[in-house]
Chain A
Amino acid sequence: MLSASAAGLLLAAAALHGGQGPAYTIGRDRTLAVSALPEVLSLPEVRPHLNTGLTTSFIVVVKAAAEPGRKVRGAARIDVRWEPWDEVFLTTAVGADGRVRRDTHRSFAALAGWWQSLELPVALALPLGSWQVRVELSVIPFSQSEQRDAQRWFSSAPGDDAASEPATTSPGESRLNGVVDLLIATSIQRRSIVRYAWPATPRPVPARGP
């Protein structure tokens, strides 16, 4: 797994790379949306996680700044999970507007295509002004429910249950075991394994049809 220092390194590398960054649009309703997210899914530090069967969460954080000293933060989340029985990718995208977009992709190529076409609202009612937008993307290898499930499972791992050693575990020892379980179970936490950051470029709002 990637350590925090390695994640920081990638962040710096991505910033220096200066490759094709994401785009943003500010709609007539002053909704800030990001699109054309760089294709990170096939990068070696991300790709292996997509096939684990766990839900990989992509947290999109947008930091917008405008003169004089105005700052706005927005966020969206994209979950990707490989379903090994059906051999499909299940995706869920949730934007700042609260709308949940669920899709199924039969191949990795289809997933990558969907990723490229994704446009996510990240901040609502953006004030008027000339905004500089920066997009940060964090990759978390499993979801909150998977975290809780693993915590529960780890806390009640075989050998700790009362049935296995009913006579040898005193109440004091049992309490101590509980504390140790809690201590270790709470160390199972969701942390980003890699982070990217790009400056976003503005994209004109497409004209409305007649």
Chain B
Amino acid sequence: MLALLSQRTALLTLLALAVASALVFHMFERRLSRSWFAFGVHPEVVAAVERSRDDQKRLARLDPRGEAGYHRRFQETQRLLGRLRVLEYNRHEIVRRYEVALLVVVAAIIVLSGSASAMRQARQERRLVRLQSALGDLASGQPDVRVGERRGDLIGRIAGMVEETSRRMTRDRRRLASLENLSAWQESARRHAHEIRTPLAAARLELARIGDLASTVPVGETRDELGRLQVSLGQELDRLVDFTQRFTSFARLPHPALVRHDLTRVVAEWAELFAAAWPELEVRFADPGRAVEAMVDAEMLRQVLVNLADNSALALRGVARRGTFTLAFAAVEQGIALDVADDGPGVAPELRHRLFEPYTTSRRIGDGMGLGLAISRKVLLDHGGDLELFHTSAAGTTFRLLFPAPAPVPA
């Protein structure tokens, strides 16, 4: 209702302005056109032409030999005089017609401008309604709100901010959900490790007693067999200890100690240090030639890179050629992005949607627990960033490590 009233008021104001402009113009133009025309048919002008005409006649009398020429000029001047008089007779009508024509032109300009303005206002209102609806969606918590405004004016800029806010909210919500999920998994791992550790300690004690008992058996085939069994059981228990330790390390993942680092240097050092760590991989770093500062725990970041390189190396196992493991910074709107890419066979489609969940792996049993990516993502989330599967295909896989931009250093 209020919008309708304001629209009507705006239209009335526009109409009043148009009428006032037309009247002012009409008065001005009336004054101007009449003066202009009056100048053309001014009595003094007409009188001067008349005198000129009569002079020709007098000259003819004084110079009879040139009469034909004077007569011709007389007729020409007379014709001009006649035309001026015809104009004088039609003076009011000519001026009126001229004024009407100009008034029509001005009215057309005003009407067209008014229409254009009204259309523009209506378009702005439609855009504002879209913005309002998007803000409503944002307030109600809908993810990935889109306004569909790409112009650089105020409304377009506000729309961009709404979309950016929605993007951030969606991302934060996703990160929160991931963190909650990982926390649940960590708690589960902690309990499992705890539950396993007690019987494992008892089993180790029992195995030691079996060793002690075996030493009392006379040397012979039975004693040898007991020795072999002790070694074999010991190895299995060691594997179980290792398994429990991994559980524990996932469950007790420390919070990163964030320090301002030059990521370029950290990554370059890592690439140099680990260049020969994976025989099946050639590690490359596209050095941007400038410092890229971020708040990171360098040790944990190195661990993430090791996890990713491990995954790539395992993915390339069985491939005849040597693969590449490339690290390069990527341009993003907000924060810092480090792309880690290999040219392996890619991630299987059925794994992609749960790739970062713990215990997700395509490897054989005993070849890993599928905790590497989960731990890596947890590390990045704890940094205030994220780890994304950016691209995967039969030609390779790219993971994107996202870090928040560091706060500016006070001068």
Residues in chain A within 8 A of chain B (CB atoms): 1, 3, 52-54, 84-85, 141-142, 146-147, 149-150, 153-154, 180, 183-184, 186-189, 191, 193
Contact = CB atoms under 8 A, between A and B. Distances in A.
Contacts of B89: 1, 141-142, 191, 193
A54 B91 contact: no
Contact of A187 (B57, B78, B93): B93
Contacts of A53: 78, 81-82, 85
Contact of B86 (A85, A147, A183): A147
A188 B87 contact: yes
A180 B79 CA distance: 24
B101 A180 contact: yes
A97 to B, nearest CB: 30
22 contacts: A1-B92, A52-B81, A53-B78, A54-B82, A84-B74, A141-B85, A142-B85, A146-B82, A149-B79, A149-B86, A150-B82, A150-B87, A153-B83, A183-B97, A183-B101, A184-B101, A187-B93, A187-B94, A187-B98, A188-B94, A189-B90, A193-B89
Most chain A Cβ neighbours within 10 Å, of B74, B75, B82, B93: B82
B71 interface: yes
Contacts of A149: 79, 82-83, 86
B150 to A, nearest CB: 34
Contacts of B83: 149-150, 153-154
Contacts of B175: none
A187 B90 contact: yes
On chain B, which size bracket covers the interface? 20 to 34
Given A149-B83, A187-B93, 15 more contacts: A1-B92, A54-B86, A84-B54, A85-B57, A85-B75, A146-B86, A149-B86, A150-B82, A150-B87, A153-B83, A183-B98, A187-B90, A187-B97, A188-B87, A188-B93
B91 A1 contact: yes
Contacts of A187: 90, 93-94, 96-98
Contacts of B74: 84-85
Given A3-B92, A189-B90, A54 B85 contact: yes
Contact of B97 (A1, A85, A184): A184
B53 interface: yes
Contacts of B262: none
A141 B94 CA distance: 16
B282 interface: no
A114 B290 CA distance: 113
Given A187-B97, A188-B90, A84 B79 contact: no
Contacts of B85: 52-54, 141-142
A1 B86 contact: no
B78 to A, nearest CB: 5
Interface in B79-129: 79, 81-83, 85-94, 96-98, 101
A96 to B, nearest CB: 28
Contact of B82 (A3, A142, A189): A142
Contacts of A85: 57, 71, 74-75, 78
Contact of A142 (B57, B86, B97): B86
Contacts of B94: 184, 187-188
A1 B82 contact: no
Contacts of A180: 101
Contacts of B96: 187
A187 B75 CA distance: 26
A86 B352 CA distance: 113
B24 to A, nearest CB: 22
Contacts of A147: 86
A147 B74 CA distance: 20
A189 B93 contact: yes
B33 to A, nearest CB: 10
A54 B78 CA distance: 9
Contacts of A150: 82-83, 86-87
Interface in B254-287: none
Contacts of B97: 183-184, 186-187
B206 to A, nearest CB: 106
Contacts of B53: 84
A52 B87 CA distance: 13
A16 B79 CA distance: 39
Contacts of A183: 97-98, 101
Nearest to A153: B83
Contacts of B87: 150, 154, 188
Nearest to B94: A187
A105 to B, nearest CB: 19
Nearest to B78: A53
A149 B83 CA distance: 7
B81 A1 contact: no
A183 to B, nearest CB: 5
B78 A84 contact: yes
